[in-house]
Chains A and B, each alone.
Chain A
Amino acid sequence: MKTIEAVKSLKAKFGDVLVSELLFMGETTLEVAKDNLKAILGFLKKNADGGGFEVLMDLTGVDYLEPTKRTKVVYWLHNPENYERIRIVIFAARGESLPTVTDLWEGADWFERELYDLFGIGFDGHPDLKRILMPDDWVGHPLLRDYALTEEPVEFKHGVKPKVPSQIIPHVGRVITSWDSGVTRRSP
């Protein structure tokens, strides 16, 4: 089933549940609310009337500081029959948790752990939610926009102090600069 038909049948089934709908460069993006996230993903996965988006090709997040501090979680679904794709997005406020999709796709396990690790999003019902890329005792979630990126001077020769002290990498030339000022170094 084509993506456009799948969206139609989704609307017929659930009524007016989409927060927003966007078609950009041939990619359909649907924004949904937390309450019906699981129902909509489960519906789209079904082959009969949902569109057969059986594969969760990617699951990731994008962090925003404006208008409020929040993270967009992106489900990128793939139909293995006709290779149509659809993007489902949902916004999660800081510290908010979403329902897990590991019961729909077993492989979502690690993707959700990565989201938890790098964005601090919790997943209710996840079998083993812990850090995956960063060390277990790491403080903070690195891909948040207000997490400062720092650089460490490399000591090339033992005992010789590097000339340049540790510093925050400046964001020179960024036109939209919302997080340059006021960042502090993460204490080691």
Chain B
Amino acid sequence: MTISKAAQNLINIQSSGDISGEIMELNLGPQHPSTHGVLRLKLHLNGEVVISAEPVIGYLHTGIEKECETRTYHQIFTLVDRLDYLSGPAEEEVFAGTVERLMNITVPERAQTIRVILLELSRISSHLIWVGTSALELNMSSVFMYCFAEREKILDLFEEISGARMFPSLWRIGGLARDLNPDFEEHLKDFLRDFPKLWKDLDDLLTDNYVWNTRLKDVAIIDEELCKQYMCTGPVIRGAGVPYDIRKIYPYSGYENYQFDVPTYPEGDAYARYMVRMEEMQQSASIVQQGLARLKPGPVITDDRKVALPPRRELARSMEAVIHQFKLVSEGLHPPVGEIYHCVESARGELGNYLVSDGSNKPQRLRVRSPSFSHVEVLKKILPGHILSDVVVAIASVDPILGDVDR
């Protein structure tokens, strides 16, 4: 049986009887560029080897779950956006999906397709940032530049359709706020034409790179058993060889109509997670391609007037439309009493919303089950035995977003 580098380090320390020597306590973060936000790690070091680690979170706690209890359902979109700030569309999709399932609303086909396109674009942009920042931490700053330049194109696309770069806030309950611009498809095709070139560049720069391989392989191993114990999902569990993908298991927004693979690698180390994310970017680009082919003209929001605002042109002519507009804006919609859990596959894993409705116009409770929370928790288990410089790789490899962890 092969034994990982980290376990070997721990065995060496124990057998040499060195453990009773000088133990240094080191605080990594919260203000440290390699902690991807404001994560603090309390490390106990024996020489350069980590003996124990304790992640400390809460520095970015914004109380959004509490805030949501005092807002109407339409106001919540701009709040949940800010949780996972690198893939805002996923947060919007999960919230919209939860309310739509509870109220039994059918989203028009075109809206579903546009949602899928935006979700996959945000997944690509999130993974690009991950590759870029992880490489920057290993001193490969050119990769960082390439990734951010490409992500800029995705943000430009978001800006074009909604005016906002990072958080499109395009989702509404029952569909989308507005339709795509006429030029959008053209610009998206440009992006899809250029993206494989960049992907190839990244692949050439990193996949067989000696430094990248030696730094990532056999580091921060999270196996299937650990994933079950710590509820790890997303690229982490797929990097442990389990094909667990919400898009396949509990399809939402019409994902069952798309052809795509779920890449898995059995090793469970940081390199496996890197390979998973790289292949996911390709799959996402292919899903966007299929989405473009499926785009048919049609409405982008449901015509249920108790849920969605009436079109502007009706307001001048119909008293009923004015009343609906007034009630929806001033009071909002009322889902039935009940509780429901709905989840989507965000760039980081299973992102779930648990909504408890008391029949009023504001949720009684909106719980966000964030994937990053579990992925930061598992750090305390996997870090011991690694040398300090590998800690940085380990943090990066689980891709935590602290806004999502602290909520």
Kindly identify which residue among A74, A133, A149, A169 contacts B61, using a CB–CB cutoff of 8 Å: A133
Given A63-B365, A142-B66, A173-B331, the answer on whether A58 and B377 have CB atoms closer than 8 Å is no
Interface string of A88-118 (1 = CB under 8 A from B): 0000000000000000011101100000000
Interface string of A108-150 (1 = CB under 8 A from B): 0110000000000000000000011111000000110001010
User: Which of B147-155, B295-303, B352-360 lines the interface with chain A?
Assistant: B352-360
A55–B358 touching, CB < 8 Å: no
Given A107-B378, A134-B58, the answer on whether A74 and B354 have CB atoms closer than 8 Å is yes
Kindly identify which residue among A57, A105, A132, A143 contacts B65, using a CB–CB cutoff of 8 Å: A143
Given A58-B354, A107-B230, A107-B374, the answer on whether A25 and B338 have CB atoms closer than 8 Å is yes
B354–A76 touching, CB < 8 Å: yes
Is A62 part of the contact surface with B, judged by Cβ < 8 Å?
A: yes
Chain A residues, Cβ within 8 Å of B362: 171, 174
- Best-surrounded residue of A85, A131, A149, A174 (most CB of chain B within 10 A): A174
User: Which of B107-115, B242-250, B252-260 lines the interface with chain A?
Assistant: B242-250
B75 to chain A, nearest CB (A): 11
Chain B residues, Cβ within 8 Å of A109: 377
**Which residues 300-333 of B sit at the A interface, judged by CB distance below 8 A?**
330-332
Chain B residues, Cβ within 8 Å of A134: 58, 61
Q: Of all chain B residues, which has the CB nearest A55?
A: B228
Is A54 part of the contact surface with B, judged by Cβ < 8 Å?
A: yes
Given A25-B102, A56-B231, A57-B231, the answer on whether A176 and B360 have CB atoms closer than 8 Å is yes
B350–A149 touching, CB < 8 Å: no
A76–B381 touching, CB < 8 Å: no
Chain B residues, Cβ within 8 Å of A175: 334, 359-361
Chain A residues, Cβ within 8 Å of B231: 55-58, 105, 107
Is A14 part of the contact surface with B, judged by Cβ < 8 Å?
A: no
B367–A60 touching, CB < 8 Å: yes
Residues of B contacting A: mostly: mixed
B99 to chain A, nearest CB (A): 12
Chain A residues, Cβ within 8 Å of B365: 62-63, 143
How many A residues touch the partner, as a band?
A: 35 or more
Given A27-B341, A80-B242, A176-B360, the answer on whether A133 and B57 have CB atoms closer than 8 Å is yes
- Best-surrounded residue of B67, B242, B250, B360 (most CB of chain A within 10 A): B360
Is B364 part of the contact surface with A, judged by Cβ < 8 Å?
A: yes
Q: Of all chain A residues, which has the CB nearest B231?
A: A107
How many B residues touch the partner, as a band?
A: 35 or more
B359–A173 touching, CB < 8 Å: no
B353 to chain A, nearest CB (A): 10
- Best-surrounded residue of A80, A110, A143, A176 (most CB of chain B within 10 A): A110
Chain A residues, Cβ within 8 Å of B165: none
A176–B377 touching, CB < 8 Å: no
B360–A106 touching, CB < 8 Å: no
Kindly identify which residue among A24, A57, A83 contacts B339, using a CB–CB cutoff of 8 Å: A24
Interface string of B335-349 (1 = CB under 8 A from A): 000111100000000
Chain A residues, Cβ within 8 Å of B65: 143
Q: Of all chain A residues, which has the CB nearest B331?
A: A173
Q: Of all chain B residues, which has the CB nearest A178?
A: B358
Is A38 part of the contact surface with B, judged by Cβ < 8 Å?
A: no
Chain B residues, Cβ within 8 Å of A24: 338-340
A58–B230 touching, CB < 8 Å: no
Chain A residues, Cβ within 8 Å of B359: 175-176
Give the 4 A-B residue pairs with the shortest CB-CB distance, closest first.
A107-B230, A175-B360, A133-B58, A58-B369
**What are 20 A-to-B residue pairs whose CB atoms are below 8 Å?**
A57-B231, A58-B341, A58-B354, A60-B369, A62-B356, A62-B364, A62-B365, A63-B365, A76-B341, A80-B228, A80-B244, A87-B341, A106-B381, A107-B378, A149-B67, A174-B360, A174-B361, A174-B362, A175-B359, A176-B360
Given A58-B369, A149-B66, 9 further pairs, Cβ under 8 A: A24-B340, A25-B102, A25-B340, A29-B339, A76-B354, A107-B378, A149-B63, A176-B358, A176-B359
Chain B interfacial positions (CB closer than 8 Å to A): 57-58, 61, 63, 65-67, 69-70, 72, 101-102, 228-231, 242, 244, 249-250, 330-332, 334, 338-341, 350, 352, 354, 356, 358-362, 364-365, 367, 369, 373-374, 377-378, 381, 406-407
